[in-house]
Structure 1
């Protein structure tokens, strides 16, 4: 391993540790006060740290896939692909999780949304920031890219990075969804991670849009009591 490669891996490890550490530390610090906003506060904090680290390396989010697509029509077509992949992952990993764990849903985290228009509008604002942009940029673009570099690059390292990011994504949902939800969201994260290395590095918009759409449908159902 030459000195430049070693330096690149060390830098990526430092960046990854700072962002993951921010995600964990901030959420655990806020969680005793609010189960609703602990996640969003931690991802907002981590986005600030990650953006600074990219800027310091002479990069930006466009380098990780958040750029204007060459074709919005093709992007919408890819959204269909991502949505179908989401449905398949949710159904498949949901069936596996049902065998081993009790489905506790959201443990009442979003009960306040039902029939509450101000609460619904607030949660929708979080859906299209924390629950779509922030999570895709952090858990897919940043974590996978940095972890792949740490592991040495190449196909094997990238696939290992996708798996590690998926495990972390599942862990992030354990505190209110239990092991059932952690397994399902981790499985969805795995599929989304594979999609990210397929075309998301060039265009992450389909992942962002589908993530936001799915969360919007879920919260709208809660609001309507459906």
Structure 2
């Protein structure tokens, strides 16, 4: 049974089918879209006897990766928080942060959401969107440099739309952020953990600013 499931789910077209079917679960709950795709990815991982390298996790976390992730995170913070996001908000309005508003000044809520974020956003989303969707699409399209770039764009659009609950400004900002991250994965195809750290550190900064109720200071300073 395990072998049959694995052989079926690793057929080239299954990644596209998964991406098409997953949004249907959004009519029930937007989180189901994520967990459906993640479930398929983990079934493949299970069927491969936990061959993590199939999802781009061929390198362990080391000092070099950690330092690199910090540098990129800081660059992302400067590029998006100080340049890109203020421009987007000027024309499209503010982000809809209602899904995390309750952590403002709430230490217990802040700690809880940080744990959830590192498990399901930093690790889970990178494992699914980059490790499975992007890598799977790139291989389906021929596994060339062009196919990886096309896959990066497609996956980033998909990732951006999945954040529609943040409003149009959120969709566009997340698309651009995801595209940058996908291009980094394109250059580090065997080091998905680098992206996990960047994603986790970036979200940690954002959530901490919201918890401290300081998330508006950057845009106010620019204006």
Give the Cα separation in 2 of the matches to 1:20 and 1:126: 26
Is the Cα contact below 8 Å between 1:166 and 1:187 reproduced in 2?
yes
Other structure's SS at 1:11 match: coil
Matched, 1:179 2:168: yes
Other structure's SS at 1:153 match: coil
Matched, 1:28 2:27: yes
Deviation per CA, 1:62-101: give whole Å up to 9, x if none: 33222442x7111123213421442355255425524642
Question: Structure 1 residues 202, 179: CA separation in 2 closer, same or farther (over 3 Å shift)?
Answer: same
Is the Cα contact below 8 Å between 2:66 and 2:197 reproduced in 1?
no
Gaps of 5+ in 1: 1-7, 31-37
Instruction: Give the structure 2 partner of residue 141 of structure 1.
Output: 131
Other structure's SS at 2:115 match: helix
What's the C-alpha RMSD, in Å, of the aligned pairs? 2.7
Is the Cα contact below 8 Å between 2:129 and 2:155 reproduced in 1?
yes
Shift of 1:58: 6.7
Gaps of 5+ in 2: 1-7, 215-223
Matched, 1:43 2:34: yes
Give the Cα separation in 2 of the matches to 1:42 and 1:121: 25
Shift of 1:142: 1.0
Is the Cα contact below 8 Å between 2:73 and 2:201 reproduced in 1?
no
Give the Cα separation in 2 of the matches to 1:130 and 1:27: 17
Q: Within 5 A, what are the aligned runs for 1:205-216?
A: 205-216=193-204
